A and B are shown apart, each in its own frame.
Chain A
Amino acid sequence: MVDRVLIVGGLKVNFYTYAGVVKALDGIDIDLRPNETHGLVGETGCGKSVTVHSLIKLIPMPPGKIEGGRALLHAPVTCRTCRGKGCPECGGSGTLDTCEACGGATKCVKCRGFGRYKDGKSCRTCGASGLCASCGGSGSRYLDLLALSAKQMREIRGGSISMILQEPMSALNPVLTVAEQVGEAFYYHQRAALVHGTLAALDRALKDIETSRKSRWRRPILRWYRFLYRRMERDPESRLLQSLRRVPVVRRYHRWLAREMRAQSLDALNMVRIPSPEKVLDSYPHELSGGMMQRVVISIALASHPRVLIADEPTTALDVTIQSQILRLMADLKGQLGTAIIFITHDLAVIAQVCDRVSVMYAGTIAESAPTLPIFREPLHPYTRGLVRAIPGPHEDVQRLPEIAGSVPNLVTPPSGCRFHPRCPFAKAVCKEEKPLLLEARPSHRVACHMYGPYAEQWTDADRLLPQEVVTR
């Protein structure tokens, strides 16, 4: 098993608008580990949604443009030698997991791992890291999401990476039944499994006819259907079948697939614990409550057993009781399916409840990224410290919560250097000039702040305390 399913590095997105170039994302780094829930927190407009939307190219382009960076999705491929049956080439697993560019060596092929060319210039291929750019230094096979064609991207969307949108009320099509919409998810990404199930059902029906000797006239029809589905199994995109589906009477063969789709949808609804799923399948979205709709949306997103599930504020529009039900459900399903989740929210309480790791975003940059507990116990970045300080305690009697002075900068003209420096109580000259990198300050605790980087000696221990904190000590 690889240690990271998704590697986002230096992701840069601009929006070219009339008012000027909005530098929405300025170098986003996210590492997503398997079976992990990774929280993305930050205030409105800091680029949480833009980050995840640009991963699957759902931002409007134009005006949006992905300027640079990489987004690598771990993608084992079927072994070409044994075609998935298992052989020495793939170590019996049936899938190849080695990076094609570096052959698993993890070193950059161009600079051979030195990070520099002979003339001393930084290697442009690996960005001076010395690690293979196409696998991000893991040696495993990764797919560069930003370089995919539109068709490949469609296969990723809803297949390897699914998304739950904010508003369950508007996320379902009002004129289609739940069955049609859940079934659609299977039709896009699980067609092989659907056809397989359909063939099994056909075989069963044929056998029944043989043994019971009833309605034998159906035999040739079923055989014909079986022939069609075998064809579909070999070539899911077959032109012949696509056109046969348009022909009246002939298209009745599709009913077997539809039946299988319905069975799968029923299972999917059962998985998200919807009461009386049969009835819900035949409902229109307006007949369901908000919580039910969100469950349906989740079942659609998980239909393809994605490797990464992006949940964009999935509980913001729901009331608190439903919210906790949905959160618990998502945690359970994550355990069952082994899906990694990127969880976007601005509710720190939700983060504390569900996330294993948290990345705090500020004005299009990642300020701090660490496991959940250290973020709340011992935040390092001044912005995170301000956020955590603003959480009211259960028995506190305060008139006014402590706040971070100032407001979010306009991203058309973002502050130079560190984007937080105009609001930062610790800012020094260097913060204005140089953009801090997201560096590891503690084990697995990365922070983008000069106080912990190469310039750390400019701050004394007393300097690092907030005025209020000085008083309490």
Chain B
Amino acid sequence: MQPRIREAKFGLNRMKQNPLSIVGLAITLGFVVIALAAPLLAPSPCGRPEVVSCNPNDPFVMPNYGYETEPLPPSADHPFGTTPGRPGRYDIYYGVVWGTRNAFRVGIVVVGLALLIGILLGLVAGYYGGILDEIIMRIVDVFLTFPSLILAIAIVAAFGQNLGNIMIAVAIVWWPSYVRLVRGDVLAAREEGYVQSVRALGASDARIMVRHILPNAVYPILILASMDIGSVVLVVAALSFLGLGVGSNYADWGGLVNFTRDLIVGQAGGDPLAYWYTYVYPGLFIFLFVLGWNLLGDALRDVLDPRVRRR
């Protein structure tokens, strides 16, 4: 394992030289801490007298503080204020903290599914080529012809709004580009001398693919995947904002913004910035989350990609 550690140190050193990488790493690590410490940062207020409804078994269900239309401004009880009471007065701080956990879950599951399908199909299509390649790539083309958000909306609308369906829907629109990327890199790696060499050494197809081609073709896709964790959260937030979210009381950044849809332009004739806290805080979390993963993706390129890494 020693040579691996040496290479990793070299990569980390390169990463340190780029301040943006550090910022990206810091932001993402910050979100990891928030997600891990969610029960400490925002404990369930169940049982307190001002809570109208609450689910002690599922912390992702936000406790409701009443049905008055006016949102509550930031205070000691509600550091980020509350949402307006039409679906229910939810504590924005609580929603944002538990929403972080949700964002990680959605991003990692969706990108993980896309990676799995993308690597598997891309590897097979690129390595074997011929009719298999043709079939797989034409299926990919069909999926790519649909406008992705519309397709996701259609799937969620058809199968019902719950977290599982939303993740599956986004994964379905997400995997095709992964297949394309992996296939392209596999096509390039397949022609390399070392692949010929190990074939002449008597390695089986499976072993050539997994041990020799994949490690050389996987870096671009890992970088894309890390950037996409942010993008997936953005798409899921968009779905929630369009009202196709998990449900009105579920801790989800997009959902929180959705509740304040009418307040963004202000109540009729009022000050548009009167209820700024209702959309700024969830929006800020989405923005930072996406930014963090994007910067981290760039940093990973420095660390992982052997073509950039060569001294």
- The yes or no answer to A195 lying at the interface (CB within 8 A) is no
Interface string of B195-234 (1 = CB under 8 A from A): 0111111111000000110011000000000000000000
- Contact B203–A188 (Cβ < 8 Å): yes
- Contact A175–B215 (Cβ < 8 Å): yes
Shortest CB-to-CB span from A93 to chain B, Å, is: 26
User: Which one of B202, B216, B311 lies within 8 Å of A158 (CB-CB)?
Assistant: B202
Q: How far is A201 from B306 in the complex, measured between Cα atoms in Å?
A: 37
Which interface class (under 10, 10 to 19, 20 to 34, 35 or more) fits A?
20 to 34
- The yes or no answer to B138 lying at the interface (CB within 8 A) is no
Q: How far is A326 from B197 in the complex, measured between Cα atoms in Å?
A: 19
Which A residues, 23 to 76, have Cβ-Cβ distances below 8 Å to chain B? Answer: 56, 58
- The yes or no answer to A172 lying at the interface (CB within 8 A) is yes
- Contact A165–B202 (Cβ < 8 Å): no
- Contact A286–B202 (Cβ < 8 Å): no
- Residues of A within 8 Å of B198, CB to CB, are 173, 184
- Contact A184–B306 (Cβ < 8 Å): no
- Contact A165–B306 (Cβ < 8 Å): no
- The yes or no answer to B269 lying at the interface (CB within 8 A) is no
- Contact A165–B201 (Cβ < 8 Å): no
**A173/B212 contact (C-beta < 8 A), A165-B193, A284-B7, A286-B310 known:** yes
Q: How far is A158 from B204 in the complex, measured between Cα atoms in Å?
A: 12
- Residues of A within 8 Å of B204, CB to CB, are 154
- The yes or no answer to B262 lying at the interface (CB within 8 A) is no
User: Which one of A56, A155, A174, A297 lies within 8 Å of B197 (CB-CB)?
Assistant: A297
Q: How far is A166 from B197 in the complex, measured between Cα atoms in Å?
A: 10
Shortest CB-to-CB span from B79 to chain A, Å, is: 43
- The yes or no answer to A159 lying at the interface (CB within 8 A) is yes
- The yes or no answer to B2 lying at the interface (CB within 8 A) is yes
Interface string of B25-64 (1 = CB under 8 A from A): 0000000000000000000000000000000000000000
- Contact B3–A283 (Cβ < 8 Å): yes
- Contact A165–B200 (Cβ < 8 Å): yes
- Residues of B within 8 Å of A58, CB to CB, are 196, 199-200
Q: How far is A177 from B211 in the complex, measured between Cα atoms in Å?
A: 12
Which A residues, 257 to 296, have Cβ-Cβ distances below 8 Å to chain B? Answer: 282-284, 286
- The yes or no answer to A167 lying at the interface (CB within 8 A) is yes
- Contact A162–B196 (Cβ < 8 Å): no
The interface of chain B, by Cβ under 8 A from chain A, is: 2-3, 7, 192-194, 196-204, 211-212, 215-216, 306, 310-311
The interface of chain A, by Cβ under 8 A from chain B, is: 56, 58, 154-159, 162-163, 165-167, 169-177, 184-185, 188-189, 282-284, 286, 297, 300-301
